[in-house]
Structure 1
Amino acid sequence: MHQVVSATTNPAKIQAILRAFAEIFGEGSCHIESVNVESGVPEQPIGSEETRAGARNRVANARQAYPQADFWVAIEAGIDEGSTFSWVVIESAHQRGEARSATLPLPAIILDKVREGEALGPVMSKYTGIDEIGRKEGAIGVFTAGALTRSSVYHQAVILALSPFHNAIYR
């Protein structure tokens, strides 16, 4: 059984990680331990590089906290060019996989608040009345009328980031 450390305690992110690992390695093949670690970037990362750096930093911090694990996984959400997205970073002892999620264009009224220094989750909670929306369906769920959720979009990115770990051509 693989020991997987999720560098987050966010239920939407953990659900995506669990589902992706089960699909790639088989149901029940992984045990996930979640840990809250620092990203080393602002609460609301801006730009692809800052967001990817946050995910990489979280993986490094999770590795430090749980060095005996088989995999460390981080999902960092950010804002870039008027859209929200995330970077997924997965590491094992000898390999790294990274993938960027799909992007969701955000309305100007939301972006203006983010540009003023607020994080997307709290801004969305104010506009929707949904407490802790970032731990639930997220802006993605709201703006796609539930067709997609934060977890479903993260799931795809986790699957993509896992590709180096189960395809021999990467080795």
Structure 2
Amino acid sequence: MYEVVCATTNPAKIQAILRAFSEIFGEASCHIASVDVESGVPEQPFGSHETRTGARQRVINARQACPQADFWVAIEAGIDDDSTFSWVVIENAQQRGEARSATLPLPAVILEKVRAGEALGPVMSAWTGIDEVGRKEGAIGVFTGGKLTRSSVYHQAVILALSPFHNAIYR
């Protein structure tokens, strides 16, 4: 059984990681643990570089906190080109996999507040009235009418980032 450490306590992210690892390695093949670690970037990262840096730093910090694990996984959400997206970084002792998620264009009313210094999650919670919406369906769920959720989009990116770990062509 693989020990997988999620560098987050966010239920939407943990659900995506668990689902993806179960699909790739088999049901009940992984034990998922969660650790709250710093990203080293602002609460609301801007741009692909800053967002990926946050995910990489979370993996580094998770490895330091739980060095005995088989995998360390981080998902960092950011804003780029007026859209929200995330970077997924996965490492084991030998290699790293990274993938960027799909993007969701954000309305001007939301972007205005985020550009003024507020993080997307609290802005969305205030706008929708949904407490901690970022730990649930997220902006993605709100703006797609539930057709996609934060977790479902993360799930796809986790599957992509796992590609180097189960396909021999990457080795």
The answer, yes or no, to whether TM exceeds 0.5 is: yes
Structure 2 gap ranges (5+): none
TM-superposed CA distance for 1:156, in Å, is: 0.1
Partner of 2:124: 124
Q: Aligned partners of 1:26, 1:110: CA distance in 2, in Å? A: 39
What are the residue-to-residue correspondences of 1:130-169 with 2, within 5 Å? Answer: 130-169=130-169
Write out per-residue CA displacement over residues 108-140 of structure 1, whole angstroms, 9 at most, x where no aligned residue. 010000000000000000000000000000000
Aligned: 1:51 with 2:37: no
- Corresponding residue for residue 99 of structure 2: 99
Secondary structure in 2 aligned to 1:148?
coil
Counterpart for residue 14 of structure 2: 14
Per the alignment, in what secondary structure is the counterpart of residue 42 of structure 2?
coil
Q: What are the within-5 Å matches in structure 2 for residues 22-37 of structure 1?
A: 22-37=22-37
Q: Which runs of 4+ in 1 moved over 6 A?
A: none
Partner secondary structure for residue 161 of structure 1: helix
> What is the percent sequence identity of the aligned residues?
85
Distance 2:11 2:127 in 1: 21
Q: Which amino acid aligns with 2:101?
A: S
Q: Distance in 2 between matches of 1:102 and 1:94?
A: 27
Q: Secondary structure at the match of 1:139?
A: helix
User: TM-score w.r.t. structure 2 length?
Assistant: 1.00
1:24 partner SS: helix
RMSD: 0.2
- TM-score, normalising length: structure 1: 1.00
Distance 1:67 1:127 in 2: 40
**CA apart distance, 1:24:** 0.1
- Tell me the amino acid that sits aligned with residue 43 of structure 1: E
